Amino acid sequence: MSTSFMWHDEILSNSAHATFDGSGGGTGSLSSGWSNDPLGRLVPLRELSLHPASTILNYGQGIFEGIKAFRRENGEICVFRCNKNAQRFRVGASRLMIPPVPEPVFIDAVEAVVAANAEFVPPFGAGALYLRPILFGSGKQLGVSPSPRSTFCIYCSPVGNYFKGGVGSILPIRLLAQNKYQRAANKGIGFVKAVGNYAPVFKCQDEVRKAGFTEALFLDNNKLVTPELDGNILAGVTRASVIEIAKNMGITVEERKLKLAELASFDEAFCCGTGASITPVGGVEVEKGGEVYLFGDEGKAAGEKTKQLIKKLHDIQWGIDKSQEYKGWTRVVSSTKTAIFK
């Protein structure tokens, strides 16, 4: 990690203001234990110390988020839709019995980390500063129950494109469709960005040598189809953004279950996420010598609708697009943002 500072905070889960219902306690504003705890501050990037009996190590009681900050052409730095991440963070915390971080506290911490690491935000059009908020049970708890202490931390790193090809690349990727593994179980926590949802994917990734995503969006002429949020799929911030952009472009959006055989009828395909942004899918091959579905120019190039969506999303993130309907999607981080240093 090449950045300088991170946000660090801890709270006792039995705090009078700590709640597990997602309300943040009391009035739902700044009345939760996180905002009343004076320990939350910027500190030099460092390792964290954990007891072997901490619930994050033993029971996986933890969640995380992914957020990007971009440098605009005029030098300003803006954060993309971190309020949506804050809302999802609270939902996940409540599900795993961790005191939720109030949205204002979350956003303030995000902006403080960006401001403190402003020198590491890549130049306009050349990448982003990726922020990783984490919230986990850090207290000693050998018994199977929620941690008595929780830790909220945000660290960051400059990043380029998630896949090969560079920032803003529209080179298609190829995916392998397999049914040997399942990302999330019905009535489980697939809708939560929980730490335990990701390590099981490593083996599948290794076997198919492809990147794993929580959702995929497919285009058919002027129709966009994406799997519905049924509790197994993460309510992605980029996913929601793409859906809204597509609707504004006059594209019909359908959120429903997809069958593998339907891929044969689609003209274009892409996957999306904070790290991946919008990445074209050139082809999907079914395991064990099954069908091969190609998109775009025989899998060699992104389709026109995909290119339009990529450009629109990047223009919004980098401040090129100043359309009124996307005005609230980015937050400019003040260069005078203050925080407590320890």
Cβ pair 95, 192 in contact under 8 A: yes
Q: Measure the CA–CA gap between 32 and 17, rounded to whole angstroms.
A: 5
Cβ pair 281, 295 in contact under 8 A: yes
- The single residue of 68, 84, 193, 312 carrying the catalytic annotation is 193
Cβ pair 274, 67 in contact under 8 A: yes
Q: Measure the CA–CA gap between 214 and 53, rounded to whole angstroms.
A: 30
Q: Rounded to an integer, what is the distance from CA 82 to the centroid of its chain?
A: 10
Using CB atoms within 10 A of its CB, is residue 103 exposed (0-12), middle (13-18) or buried (19+)? buried
DSSP characters for 197-218?
GTHHHHHHHHHHTS---S-EEE
Give, in order, the Cα–Cα distances in Å from 186 to each of 100, 213, 214, 231, 233. 24, 18, 15, 7, 10
Q: Is 68 a catalytic residue?
A: no
Enzyme catalytic residues? 193
